[in-house]
Structures are given as structure tokens and as C-alpha cells.
């Protein structure tokens, strides 16, 4: 599956991000809690040149809470600041606001002790497309200042937004690496919607996602599609049978009672993205 997606605006944004970095105090890297490996920008840490960075696992309401906890524990062991949140949840936002206030108080003290000018905290919000960057900014600022959508590639320009007197925040377009390295990453990014739907073979993504879900969350698949894996080891033809069965069970039917695969591809992806199948994580932390 060849996916090359690196629109011109992304290359430009990357350069602009570097220019703005000098002015920033803190970077919030927004990832997707369902895929904390593939949704991290591969070289963001290098790009950031030692600026403090907090990794936010957004859409945590859609991810498997047990799996999210494993990721957070692993980050804590490495003394990295990671935070999982449902960006729409007020209690989750309160935690982030509290951390920002604490960070700001420390920065102010340092500025005062060095006799520097007191300025609002400057936060860059960065990450791959469609992870919730603009949504988070609107929530932090407390009003709709920047456009959001369930499609990737919505924010096109970098823009500083004022959040009261305490902070300024830079909204950035999703900057995805030009090369998506493994097949697994491609499938995961496509399934969650980090890559636009029209540039990838939907049938391949839907079937690959189906196999992952049958293997990792068979109870959810049984509940929703009346198919669960009945075999320990199975090949693609076995899963293809199940896939067609699931399509029929969900009434995706073509002429003559055959499964309407196109319709089921879309249904499966839609239901996965909206969390209707269940709270699902596609990536667990690697074994220690
Ligand atoms: N369930 C859930 N949905 C979220 C969360 N955060 C954002 N979303 C949704 O995710 C979609 C993308 O949000 P945006 O804020 O536009 O994402 P973005 O990272 O700015 O995207 P680009 O500008 O395209 O890179 C929207 O449909 C949001 O409503 C969250 O924590 N949980
Ligand atoms: Mg945006």
C-alpha cells in the first residue's frame, strides 16, 4: 500500500514552525491516544531543539483506558510529561490548565529573578493532522478562534492566538512526515483519519483494520457484528469470510443477497472512528 502524502503547505509549515520556535516557552505535542507510536511526529523532538515538550494523548475517550495507562506509566518511567485527555472534557482540561499555571508561575519567577520582562507564556501546539490541535486551542482560549473539522489538513496557516493575559498559543497545521514508514503505521493512521480518505485504498484499510480488531477486541466485534474469531491461527481467506459475514449481519447487501463490501468498508471505518465499536487502542507500548 503506497501512501505518499506531503502537501506543499506542510513543507512550508515546517519551516515556519522552526522560525516560531525561538519565541516559544513550551510545546504541546498532540497525539492520538489510540496510536501513541504512529501519531507522534517522527522527528519532532529533533526539530524542537530542546524546548520543553509535553505529549498530549488526545481522543483518550476513544482509546482503551488500560492501554493508555500503560503508555502513561512508560512515559513516567522515562520522566517524560505525558497527559491523556478527552479534549472536550472539562475535568481533563482543568488538569492541563493547572499544569500550565504551574509552569507559568515557575517561568515568571525565573524572569523576575533575572530581571527580564514579564511576558505571557508562549505555547506551540503541534502534531500530525486531525489529532485535535485546533480543538484544544479553542478549549484553552475559551472560544472558537480557529476552525476544526473531522477531516485532516484543516489548519493551513500558523497563527498566534491570545488567551487572556497569561498565554499566547500557536495553532499549527498537522505536519506529517513525508514518508509513512511501516504498513502497520499506514493502516493505523488511515483508520483513525490522520490521512485524507481519498488518497488511500479504503478497502485495504478497512480489511486490515477488521483483522486487527478481530484479533485484539473479539468481544466488541462479536457484539457489534456478530463475528468473533473462532480460530487461533487463521489466514486472510478465513478473515475475508468473517468480513463478508459481518457485512451481511449489518445489512450491507448487494443484489442477490451478496455482501455489499463497499458499504461495509465505510460503515466499519465510520463506526471505529466514532468509538461505536468500543474504546479501542491500535498500539500498545513495546515490551520492556
Ligand atoms: N472524541 C474526541 N474527538 C476529538 C477530541 N479532540 C478533537 N476531536 C475531534 O477531532 C477532529 C479534529 O479536530 P481538529 O481540532 O480540527 O484537529 P487538528 O489537529 O487541528 O487538525 P488539522 O488542523 O487538520 O491538522 C474534530 O472532529 C474534533 O471534534 C477528543 O479528545 N475526543
Ligand atoms: Mg487544526
Structural domain spans, the chain: 8-171, 201-273
- Nearest ligand, measured from the Cα of 175: 1
- The per-residue pLDDT for 4 is 59
Name the grid cell of 115.
530581571
Q: Do residues 194 and 39 make contact, with C-beta atoms less than 8 angstroms apart?
A: yes
Q: How many CB atoms lie within 10 A of CB 227?
A: 23
Instruction: Kindly state the percentage of the chain with pLDDT values over 90.
Output: 57
CATH class of 201-273: mainly alpha
Pocket probe for ligand 1: among 132, 146, 147, 194, the residue whose CB has the most ligand atoms within 8 Å is 132
Pocket probe for ligand 1: among 14, 86, 148, the residue whose CB has the most ligand atoms within 8 Å is 148
- The per-residue pLDDT for 90 is 96
DSSP 73: H
CATH superfamily of 8-171: P-loop containing nucleotide triphosphate hydrolases (3.40.50.300)
- The per-residue pLDDT for 128 is 86
Tens-place pLDDT, residues 190-235: 999 988 777 779 999 999 999 999 999 999 999 999 997 666 777 8
Is the beta carbon of 134 within 6 A of some atom in ligand 1?
yes
Tens-place pLDDT, residues 79-126: 999 999 999 999 999 999 999 999 999 988 888 898 888 888 999 998
- Nearest ligand, measured from the Cα of 152: 1
Q: Do residues 85 and 28 make contact, with C-beta atoms less than 8 angstroms apart?
A: no
Compute, in angstroms, the gap from residue 261 CA to the centroid of ligand 1: 28
Q: Do residues 222 and 228 make contact, with C-beta atoms less than 8 angstroms apart?
A: yes
Q: How many CB atoms lie within 10 A of CB 39?
A: 29
- The per-residue pLDDT for 178 is 45
DSSP 254: -
Contacts of 182 (CB under 8 A, 6+ apart): none
Amino acid at each position: 500500500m503506497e501512501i505518499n502524502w506531503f502537501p506543499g503547505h506542510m513543507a512550508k509549515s515546517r519551516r515556519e514552525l522552526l522560525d516560531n520556535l525561538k519565541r516559544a516557552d513550551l510545546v504541546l505535542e498532540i497525539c492520538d491516544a489510540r496510536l501513541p507510536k504512529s501519531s507522534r511526529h517522527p522527528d519532532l523532538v529533533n526539530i524542537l531543539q530542546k524546548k520543553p515538550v509535553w505529549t498530549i494523548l488526545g481522543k483518550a475517550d476513544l482509546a482503551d483506558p488500560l492501554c493508555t495507562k500503560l503508555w502513561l506509566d512508560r512515559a513516567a518511567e522515562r520522566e517524560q510529561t505525558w497527559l491523556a485527555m478527552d479534549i472536550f472534557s472539562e475535568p481533563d482540561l482543568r488538569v492541563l490548565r493547572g499544569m500550565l499555571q504551574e509552569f507559568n508561575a515557575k517561568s515568571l519567577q525565573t524572569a523576575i529573578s533575572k530581571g527580564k520582562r514579564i511576558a505571557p507564556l508562549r505555547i506551540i501546539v503541534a502534531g500530525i493532522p486531525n489529532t485535535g490541535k485546533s480543538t484544544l486551542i479553542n478549549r484553552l482560549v475559551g472560544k472558537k478562534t480557529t476552525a476544526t473539522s473531522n477531516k485532516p489538513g484543516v489548519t493551513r496557516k500558523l497563527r498566534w492566538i491570545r488567551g487572556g493575559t497569561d498565554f499566547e498559543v500557536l495553532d499549527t497545521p498537522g505536519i506529517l512526515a513525508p514518508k509513512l514508514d511501516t504498513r502497520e503505521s499506514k493502516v493505523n493512521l488511515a483508520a483513525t483519519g490522520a490521512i485524507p480518505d481519498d488518497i488511500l485504498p479504503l478497502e485495504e484499510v478497512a480489511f486490515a483494520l477488521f483483522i486487527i480488531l478481530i484479533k485484539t477486541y473479539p468481544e466488541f466485534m462479536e457484539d457489534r457484528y456478530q463475528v468473533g474469531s473462532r480460530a487461533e491461527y487463521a489466514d486472510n481467506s478465513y478473515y475475508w469470510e468473517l468480513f463478508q459475514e459481518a457485512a451481511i449481519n449489518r445489512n450491507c447487501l448487494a443484489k442477490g443477497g451478496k455482501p455489499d463490501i463497499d458499504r461495509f468498508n465505510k460503515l466499519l471505518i465510520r463506526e471505529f472512528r466514532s468509538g461505536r465499536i468500543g474504546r479501542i487502542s491500535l498500539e500498545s507500548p513495546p515490551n520492556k
